[in-house]
């Protein structure tokens, strides 16, 4: 079953604007990760935030995590046309001993030049 | 560093036929995953290997899907017989030993069309 629900399903913005995507999940987690998928390609890891962290930055990416609300957001600042892709959150559930990621449905981001 | 290799890139078959996908993970990566991604959805885990042992295959439709990872390196995923609803991208991913599920490295996938 899918652990994460992402919002919005699709987002269209102009180059230079910020893009915010949200992810909600159901069970307690060890960490939450964000991945990007360009059309016809595999997923690429962007950033990981652990359950005891509230915010993390990597370049133009900012991730927040609210474990009380079981939600996370990914902010891409100063977006570029090359950021056009699908973005997925993935959770590593706390009950899981083997180490597997459950992915959300994804947000399709379109950045127009 | 070479990435995760998958082949074939595309495959078109008719329903009830058989098909096999191959994955070569990054050298030294002990954990290997097969995911199924239906168009417009997120990847769904089919099976997870740790070296050559199965860790989780709870979502693998075992009546038609099988997977193996002989010698703990390459892996093959087979569907026999295929159904229309098996049309999807099959993604292989791997992680280094000791990394749990932190930062999966994905291949480009095999796009399967069942007609």
pLDDT in tens, B38-72: 999 999 999 999 988 998 999 999 999 999 998 88
Lowest mean pLDDT among A2-11, A41-50, A76-85: A2-11
Shortest Cα–Cα distance, B102 to chain A (Å): 8
Mean pLDDT of A68-75: 96
pLDDT at B99: 78
What is the model's pLDDT at position A98? Answer: 58
- What was the pLDDT predicted at B5? 97
Which string of DSSP letters, residue by residue, matches B8-45?
-SEEEE-TT--EEEEEE--TT--EEEEEEE-TTS--EE
Higher pLDDT residue, A62 or B96?
Answer: A62
Report phi then psi at A81, rounded to 5.
-55, -35
| Interface residues of chain A, partner chain B, Cβ below 8 Å | 2, 4, 30-31, 33, 35, 40-45, 48, 88, 92, 96, 98-106
Would you report the helix, strand and coil content of chain B in percent, each value rounded to 5? 5, 50, 45
Query: What is the three-class DSSP state of A94?
Result: coil
Q: Based on C-alpha coordinates, what's the Rg of chain A?
A: 13
For residues B50 and A111, is the Cβ–Cβ distance under 8 A? no
Rounded average pLDDT over A73-87: 97
Per-residue pLDDT at A66 = 97
Q: How high is the pLDDT of residue B60?
A: 95
The answer on pLDDT for B110 being more than 50 is: yes
- The answer on pLDDT for A58 being more than 90 is yes
Flag if A48 and B102 touch (Cβ within 8 Å): yes
> Alpha carbon of A113 to those of A78, B13, B108: distances in Å?
12, 39, 26
- pLDDT for A97: 56
Contacts of A3 in chain B (CB under 8 A): none
The first and second tokens of residue B44, run together, are 């769904």
**C-beta atoms of A42 and B107 within 8 A:** yes
Q: Please give the pLDDT value at position A92.
A: 87
Q: Which residues, in sequence order, are CB contacts of B80 under 8 Å at separation 6+?
A: B18, B19, B64, B66
**From B48, which residue of chain A is nearest by alpha-carbon distance?**
A100
Chain B residue numbers touching A106 (CB-CB < 8 A): 41-42
**pLDDT at B71 (0 to 100):** 85
The 10s digit of each residue's pLDDT in B68-85 is 998 889 999 999 999 999
What's the Cα-to-Cα distance from B60 to each of B6, B9, B36, B37, B108, rounded to whole Å? 19, 22, 10, 13, 21
pLDDT at position A95 over 70: no
Q: What is the pLDDT of residue A1?
A: 46
pLDDT digits (tens, 9 = 90+) for B20-35: 999 999 999 999 999 9
What residue in A sits closest to B34 (Cα-Cα)?
A: A100
């Amino acid at each position: 079953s899918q652990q994460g629900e992402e919002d919005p399903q699709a987002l269209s913005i102009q180059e230079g604007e910020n893009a915010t995507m949200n992810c909600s999940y159901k069970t307690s987690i060890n960490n939450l990760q964000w991945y990007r998928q360009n059309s016809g390609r595999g997923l690429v890891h962007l950033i990981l935030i652990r359950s005891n962290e509230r915010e993390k930055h990597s370049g133009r990416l900012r991730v927040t995590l609210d474990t009380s609300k079981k939600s996370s957001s990914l902010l891409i600042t100063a977006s570029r046309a090359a950021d056009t892709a699908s973005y997925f959150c993935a959770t590593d559930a706390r009950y899981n001993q083997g180490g597997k990621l459950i992915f959300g449905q994804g947000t399709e981001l379109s950045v127009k030049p | 560093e070479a990435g995760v290799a998958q082949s074939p890139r595309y495959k078109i078959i008719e329903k009830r036929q058989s098909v096999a996908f191959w994955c070569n993970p990054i050298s030294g990566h002990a954990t290997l995953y097969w995911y199924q991604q239906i168009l417009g959805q997120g990847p769904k885990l089919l099976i997870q290997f740790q070296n050559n042992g199965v860790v989780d295959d709870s979502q693998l439709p075992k009546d038609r899907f099988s997977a193996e990872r002989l010698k703990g390196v390459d892996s093959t995923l087979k569907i026999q017989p295929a159904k229309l609803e098996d049309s999807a991208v099959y993604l292989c991913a791997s992680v280094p030993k000791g990394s749990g599920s932190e930062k999966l490295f994905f291949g480009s996938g095999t796009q399967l069309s069942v007609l």
